[in-house]
Amino acid sequence: MKVCIAGASGYTGIELLRILESYKEIEINQITSRQYSGKALKEAFPFFNKSKYQDLIFNEEVDATSSDIYFLCLPHEPSLELVKTLYENNKIIIDLSAAYRIKNKEVYPEYYGFEHRFPKLLEVAVYGLTEIFRNDIRSAKIIANPGCYPTATILGLYPLAKEGKIQDDTIIVNALSGISGAGRHLKEDFMYPESFSNAYAYNITKHRHTPEMEEVIKRISGKDIKVRFTPHIIPVSRGMLSTVTVKTDLSKKQLRDLYFDYYEKEYFIRLQDRPVRIKEVLGTNFCDIYVDKDEKTGYAVINSAIDNLSKGASSQAVQNMNVILGFEESYNLKNLPIYP
């Protein structure tokens, strides 16, 4: 199988290069980057010196015919167009942008600033949260890889939502993300002097991942549940922590039994006996989850941690590829290299 990584010079593209190098069954034959077009991989990123792909040259544009699987690490609007072209060429597409994550096309102008012109492809696209939608993923041609905040949050909520044990029509989500979640582009807020020893909330009332979470939770639960989502930036390079507060009548023991029943056989879900920590998931495809119950208020607290660049993006994309190709899901994902 020939593989293309479009936007291979960004953080998620670099992660994909590192992970996919371990595969003997595939060959990366295309990498694209406008910034590094014409340069070899090892020229742009010297830490790839000795990689079997070190001499691969970055192209500016994607060849839509010469690869079998396309990982798109691009902004939303370029992905929107490219997915259509690749689908028409009968390719397997794993899109790491948000261009096909939300089925309701009316959401895109409000939250992403563009009109979605391909509603029929929205119907075809499969949401790539592997532990929940793997049966749909197996035969999919378009995988809409989830956002990092939704991955951590929805995996934390799934057992409660699926069993109809969320009592209120609103859940509270507070989440913390490393700075790499903003990508590699320059912005003052993410420069070292600004971010060092600093932490802050952003997009408090209108974050792009809110409708994504609400739509998927509705698909799981069958209920319209609003998400009161507050994201924060913290001064670490990578990693993500999501804390969900939700009303339920389950006791603490019932909660923990429920999560054990749902996740005992999921390799990449680790249920923990204490609140989870970002440091313990860095460079992995694991989602660590801790559940507890505040009996005084009747609220359950679900605490989940992922690496935003791995389970929140690239390694989950590879997990989805493994499902499509019929490999063991954990194949080449048990001991991942980490970006330096």
Catalytic site residues?
148
Q: What are phi and psi of 179, to 5 degrees?
A: -70, -25
- Asked whether the beta carbons of 244 and 171 are under 8 A apart, the reply is yes
Q: What is the Cα–Cα distance from 273 to 280, expressed in whole angstroms?
A: 14
Residue with tokens 């070292």: 192
Q: What is the Cα–Cα distance from 178 to 37, expressed in whole angstroms?
A: 28
- Asked whether the beta carbons of 231 and 212 are under 8 A apart, the reply is no
Tokens of 34: 């406008």
Q: Where are the alpha helices (DSSP H) in 48-198?
A: 76-88, 107-112, 119-124, 130-137, 148-162, 192-195
What DSSP line would sit under 191-229, residue for residue?
SHHHHTT--EE-S-S--THHHHHHHHHHHHHSS--EEEE
- Asked whether the beta carbons of 285 and 333 are under 8 A apart, the reply is yes
